[in-house]
Amino acid sequence: MKARTLLLALSFLLLGGCLVTFNEPIPANKPAPKALLGKWTSKDAWGEPLTLQISRSGGNAYKAVAIGKDKKRDEYAFTVSQHGNRWYLSAGVPKRLGGNFLIGGFEVLDDKELVIYNLDVEQVNQAVQKKELSGRTIEVPEDNGEGILIDSPAERVLAYLDDPANSDLFIEVARFKRAGK
């Protein structure tokens, strides 16, 4: 099931049936840390093995290949950006889920663990209601429920994400271990 692999391999895309998307990606501003590249392993929510291979695909663009128990390969392109101590990733959302872009966070811990973060949908929704970000509720295709589409310019989105008052905006959704050599 492609949505299952996507959820678990790039867990920043879907969370609890809700999706936060953006009209604009975060512009790539530097190469990803070298430690991000390579092979990572984990188990999905069903306890099945999951492999994630991350490689450079040109310039500051990257490719993640997720391989689940069924050996089916799903590929996803993304870019990265660093602001302060935070690393962000930005990827196109498949048209079947409404298109646009998503933004997530990641950390590489001691070159041995990859932690992926998703935006807290409720907090983003509150930011829209308080007019800190501009956006609206949208229906996500394929019965994935409601989502939020943020149409604020990338500079405003980054200012919001980088604000120390929003330090709890990202929630951990996946943790991978470096695959053995």
Please tell me the distance from the alpha carbon of residue 108 to that of residue 34, in angstroms, as a whole number.
10
Confidence at residue 144, expressed as pLDDT on a 0 to 100 scale: 59
Considering its fold, how many domains does the chain have in total?
1
Convert the pLDDT of each residue in 135-152 to its tens digit: 998 876 655 567 889 999
Torsion angles phi and psi, residue 140, rounded to 5: -90, 125
Query: Residue 82's domain spans which residues?
Result: 2-178
Convert the pLDDT of each residue in 38-90 to its tens digit: 999 998 778 889 899 999 998 889 999 988 888 788 888 999 999 888 899 99
- Whole-structure pTM value: 0.83
**How many CB atoms are closer than 10 A to CB 136?**
10
Please tell me the distance from the alpha carbon of residue 102 to that of residue 26, in angstroms, as a whole number.
9
Question: What are the beta bridge partners of residue 38?
Answer: 54
